[in-house]
A = this chain, B = another copy of it.
Amino acid sequence: MTIEKLFNPRGVAVIGSASEGKLGYELIRQMLDGGYRDVFAVNPKARGALSAPGYDSVAKIDRPVDLAVVVSPPATVPGVLEECGWAGVGAAVIITAGFSEVGNQAGEEEIKRVARQHAIRFVGPNCAGIINTAHHLFPTLETRPPAGGAALVAQSGAVGGVFLAWARDHGLGVSKFVSYGNRGDLTEIDFLDYLAGDPETQVVALYIESVADGRKFMEAVQACASQKPVIVIKAGRTQSGQRATLSHTGSMAGADAVYDAALRACGAIRVHKIEEMFDLCKGFLSVGLPKGQRIAVVTNSGGPGVLAADWAEQVGLDVAEPSPAVQARLAEFLPAHCAFKNPIDLTVEGTEEGYRETLLALLQEFDAVLALNIAPPYLDSMPLARGICDAAEQAAGQGDGDKVVVASFLPEWVVEASVPYLEERGVPNFATGERAVVALKHMADYQAHRASQRANSRSLPELPREVGRLPGAGQMLEPEAMAWLRDEGIPVPDFRFASTREEAVQGCREIGYPAVMKVVSPDVLHKSDCGGVVLNIRDDDAARAAFETIERAAAGKDFRGAVIYPLIRDAQEVLLGLSRDPQFGPVVAFGLGGIYTEIWRDVALRVAPVDRVEAAAMIREIKSLPLLEGARGQAPRDLDALADVLTTFSQLPFRYPDIGEIDLNPVFLLAEGLLVGDVRVIRRQPGETCE
């Protein structure tokens, strides 16, 4: 397996100038400093560097070499790879820049071609290197972190640089690091696959700006996240961010809402800041998972305790009052002036024993405790740290475990000794109470997600079988689309098509009065706007008049006739939509339409297809749900039927790959069942290549 060679090479050739101060030299120094010995310098002058011997060709190295680290100029890289191929080097890290990121696509294609020819797998080009701490392997110019369980995979080298420097400064252990730059060969998917099974990696952090293949990415994340937490930053959430990712990686990012839905669906934890990613790695590596969302804040300092509680509640944690029993227990040993109600304030007089006993009492019924200590300069915070660590250890030993204790000791200069002490004993310390509760929230959510996955033994739904092409050709007219939906098992109202006035009367009679009539014309997109819809038709005369109205509305257009429906009353209108994302393919949307969509953006979105469970989750997700459940004196709507239809609907683009978009808007949601009120189908153009 090539990635094995990448991370655990028997020897490494650094190819490029090894003169002092040059990248090759710095890389060799970094690798030697990191404790890797089998490093060889390769350059035209066969110049060695430090204790690494020099060669003028990879082929001349008389020891096994599995990995080439390439820093030679871009034009030389194809030749370098060629030589590596002949020398049996199976993996390369191409740090050299100057390829697709500066418009040199041809150069990048050339190195891909050579690598393919020689079965070389490579990282980069234009990357910041890799790290495998367990193998003492540091072919990168970024900070060398301590060894540990966090793996970082980053499309941006600089994000790696920040993370790794923090890892060194705050003692976060790193297993692997990959900066994959232009993604010429190995991608985030390869690394996720590898890290899922890497015993040294307990948590995976991923920074992406785009993905190579949305569906395969989801599968890889899903597989990895079922083994260990996967934390993802997807940058380029906004217009300016997207402009930037486009310009600096040359890759097109899909809509951010789709990324969000995709990441949630496959169990990734999405965060937006490097510091959140870092904090969360620390949390996952240090402590178990909180079983639920109940958190207590224990503090010696009122103000910061309130701020942390505010923040915890704002991010969605349950900052509940302790039960009377626990409050009574606290009252046994805490002075009366302490606050017992969460935040629990031991005041500046808090003691080692006070902290220990308070934490132990609270952990009886809380899933997690944040011990927040703002140390006044004159007080020794070490006893408090001891009390906290003792409680954490005792609680971990009792019951079913997973009682989580985290800390935030501040300010830095006063707690210089107690923070390392806390972390050595397994209590992670966060820079602020706010950062601590954000990490706890993500951890509790991850635990909930895992539990629900286990309970339902769920994975990404299978893709439905393709059955053919949409009926007809060109624009699909409403009656045609309605008939097709009906055949696909999606409930539509009874309807008739009429191309003459008398057919219209006949149609209305068959449908029954009151009826509704709508224009059928490929030229009319907004039927209401041009007077092409007549509601509440009550008799034959009205039917005739309606047909005439509609005919007039389509004057000068390709008028085909009218479609007639029964008038549907007492319905709540909702909308169902299907579209295609450039990275993830079909996505399905559900909402209430109108102002709910336009002003409130109250739409649930998923990468299609969704199963019944997920469809039900989508429906529950919208904030307007009370309107469907019978708020304000309305009848509750048939949400079961809606979930069924949403499930079926979400499969259509897979059964009919020529579907580009479908809007069912409105769908009349009734107390029993539902009926599609209008439909618009857009065929995918033959030239469209996106999934």
Do A102 and B337 have beta carbons less than 8 Å apart?
yes
Do B305 and A244 have beta carbons less than 8 Å apart?
yes
Do A319 and B159 have beta carbons less than 8 Å apart?
no
Which of A197-205, A359-367, A407-415, A514-522 interfaces with chain B?
A: A407-415
Partner of A143, one of B209, B310, B411: B411
Question: Interface residues of A toward B: which range?
Answer: 35 or more
Which of chain B's residues have a CB closer than 8 A to the CB of A209?
302-303, 306
Which of chain B's residues have a CB closer than 8 A to the CB of A185?
none
Do B165 and A411 have beta carbons less than 8 Å apart?
yes
Do A304 and B240 have beta carbons less than 8 Å apart?
no
Do A594 and B632 have beta carbons less than 8 Å apart?
yes
Which of chain B's residues have a CB closer than 8 A to the CB of A321?
243
Q: Which of A154-178 contact B (CB under 8 A)?
A: 154-159, 161-162, 165-166, 168-169
Known A-B contacts A102-B337, A302-B244; A319 and B238 likewise in contact (beta carbons under 8 Å):
yes
Which of A83-91, A546-554, A621-629 interfaces with chain B?
A: A621-629
Do B306 and A239 have beta carbons less than 8 Å apart?
no
Do A236 and B410 have beta carbons less than 8 Å apart?
no
Which of chain B's residues have a CB closer than 8 A to the CB of A57?
none
Do B599 and A103 have beta carbons less than 8 Å apart?
no
A311 within 8 A of B: yes
Do A303 and B207 have beta carbons less than 8 Å apart?
yes
Interface centre among A154, A247, A305, A310, by most B CB within 10 Å? A310
Partner of A336, one of B26, B102, B626: B102
* Distance between Cα atoms of A312 and B155 in the complex (Å): 21
A239: nearest chain-B partner, CB-CB: B313
Q: Which of A140-161 contact B (CB under 8 A)?
A: 141-143, 154-159, 161
Contact with B along A396-421 (1 / 0, CB 8 A): 00000000000000111110000000
A279 within 8 A of B: no
Which of chain B's residues have a CB closer than 8 A to the CB of A207?
303
A314 within 8 A of B: yes
Minimum distance in angstroms from A100 CB to a CB of chain B? 10
A235 within 8 A of B: yes
A156: nearest chain-B partner, CB-CB: B303
A249 within 8 A of B: yes
Partner of A244, one of B155, B162, B341: B341
Partner of A310, one of B155, B248, B272, B413: B272
A303: nearest chain-B partner, CB-CB: B156
* Distance between Cα atoms of A310 and B305 in the complex (Å): 30
Which of chain B's residues have a CB closer than 8 A to the CB of A243?
321, 341-342
Minimum distance in angstroms from A113 CB to a CB of chain B? 23
Which of chain B's residues have a CB closer than 8 A to the CB of A410?
161-162, 165
Q: Which of A376-408 contact B (CB under 8 A)?
A: 376-378
* Distance between Cα atoms of A623 and B631 in the complex (Å): 22
* Distance between Cα atoms of A314 and B237 in the complex (Å): 9
Partner of A413, one of B168, B348, B412: B168
A212 within 8 A of B: no
Known A-B contacts A161-B374, A162-B411, A595-B631; A302 and B241 likewise in contact (beta carbons under 8 Å):
no
A301 within 8 A of B: yes
Partner of A301, one of B23, B158, B412: B158
* Distance between Cα atoms of A627 and B337 in the complex (Å): 53
A68 within 8 A of B: no
Do A156 and B274 have beta carbons less than 8 Å apart?
no
Which of chain B's residues have a CB closer than 8 A to the CB of A103?
336-337
Q: Which of A584-607 contact B (CB under 8 A)?
A: 594-595, 598-600
Known A-B contacts A165-B414, A595-B631; A238 and B309 likewise in contact (beta carbons under 8 Å):
yes
A233 within 8 A of B: yes
Which of chain B's residues have a CB closer than 8 A to the CB of A631?
595, 598
A351 within 8 A of B: no
A609 within 8 A of B: no
Which of chain B's residues have a CB closer than 8 A to the CB of A414?
143, 165
* Distance between Cα atoms of A357 and B629 in the complex (Å): 60
A434 within 8 A of B: yes
Known A-B contacts A244-B302, A376-B141; A413 and B307 likewise in contact (beta carbons under 8 Å):
no
Q: Which of A284-312 contact B (CB under 8 A)?
A: 300-307, 309-312
A339 within 8 A of B: yes
Which of chain B's residues have a CB closer than 8 A to the CB of A305?
244, 248
Which of chain B's residues have a CB closer than 8 A to the CB of A245?
306
Which of chain B's residues have a CB closer than 8 A to the CB of A274?
304, 307, 432
Instruction: Return the 3 tightest CB-CB contacts between A and B, nearest first.
Output: A156-B303, A158-B301, A165-B411
22 contacts between A and B (CB under 8 A): A97-B347, A98-B337, A102-B336, A142-B377, A155-B303, A156-B306, A161-B377, A235-B310, A237-B310, A238-B309, A238-B319, A239-B319, A243-B341, A244-B339, A247-B339, A272-B307, A272-B311, A273-B307, A274-B432, A595-B632, A598-B626, A599-B624
Q: A156-B304, A158-B301, A209-B302 are in contact. List 8 more A-B contacts (CB 8 A).
A: A154-B303, A156-B303, A157-B376, A241-B307, A243-B341, A273-B311, A594-B632, A600-B623
Chain A contact residues, CB within 8 Å of chain B: 23, 26, 97-98, 101-103, 128, 141-143, 154-159, 161-162, 165-166, 168-169, 207, 209, 233, 235-241, 243-245, 247-249, 272-275, 300-307, 309-314, 319-321, 336-337, 339, 341-343, 345, 347-348, 374-378, 410-414, 432, 434, 594-595, 598-600, 623-624, 626-627, 631-632
